[in-house]
Amino acid sequence: DTGVSQNPRHKITKRGQNVTFRCDPISEHNRLYWYRQTLGQGPEFLTYFQNEAQLEKSRLLSDRFSAERPKGSFSTLEIQRTEQGDSAMYLCASSLGAGGPSSFTYEQYFGPGTRLTVT
Amino acid sequence: AQSVTQLGSHVSVSEGALVLLRCNYSSSVPPYLFWYVQYPNQGLQLLLKYTTGATLVKGINGFEAEFKKSETSFHLTKPSAHMSDAAEYFCAVSDSGAGGTSYGKLTFGQGTILTVHP
């Protein structure tokens, strides 16, 4: 068990550019979550995958954001036309859910995060 | 809807003193409650969790928390602070899934920065 990994760890980009982040969850975990954490705040939920299906998206996830989890393994989060307000730490977490989407879920394991700075 | 309030954005204690970090939650369904710790430039590490059963839960590094339904609280304590405890602590709540749709997403408080003085 190597834990949740995220790449890159840091990304500096200019306003208007597109960026893509990758998350590799713990291999047997079927649930994957993305959160965003701004300075001085707790993480805020962005989106959730059960295997390859994206089942919930926060209103924080504007149409410039898109997330995928092909084949239910790794996930990518893309931000198009970045804005300075997108600067934050983007955290990925995975967990093992028993049964269907509405069933009890075990604790989430977090990756180290990708820190995005938009200049 | 669920929410978490952490009282005190900064807490400072002396090494060896009691640590008390306060957390109150709001949830319309039976909650699952969590405490996570975050060291600078790192992800979150689970300290402990309450799901069902015993209301006093013990976690890693000597931390424990007590679920008090009547007070909607889940305060984190440690009898004797160590310098290595200095970090930011987050309380979080998730839907237990009873009676509704639950994806296990976490709602976090704003965090409490713990400083430990020698």
Which tens digits make up the pLDDT trace of A29-60?
A: 889 999 999 988 999 999 999 899 998 899 88
Residue B107 banded pLDDT, cuts 50, 70, 90: very high
Chain B residues near residue A46 by CB distance under 8 angstroms = none
**Which of A45, A91, A104 lies nearest to residue B43, judging by beta carbons?**
A91
- CB within 8 Å: A42 and B92: yes
Joined tokens for residue A88: 């934050």
Contacts of residue A59, Cβ cutoff 8 Å, sequence gap at least 6 = none
> Distance between the two ends of chain B, CA-based, in angstroms?
41
Is pLDDT of A107 > 80?
yes
Give dist(CA A39, CA A86) in Å, integer: 12
**Which of A42, A56, A107 lies nearest to residue B46, judging by beta carbons?**
A107
pLDDT on residue B65: 97
- What is the per-residue pLDDT across B14-26, written as a single tens digit (0 to 9) for each? 999 999 999 999 9
Give dist(CA A9, CA A114) in Å, integer: 4
Nearest chain B residue (CA) to A101: B103
Chain B residues near residue A40 by CB distance under 8 angstroms = 9, 110-111
Mean pLDDT to the nearest integer, B56-63: 95
pLDDT on residue B2: 86
DSSP A56-117: EE-TTS-TTEEEE-GGGS-EEEEESS--GGG-EEEEEEEE-B-SSTTS-BPPPEE---EEEE
pLDDT on residue B72: 94
pLDDT on residue A56: 87
Residue B100 banded pLDDT, cuts 50, 70, 90: very low
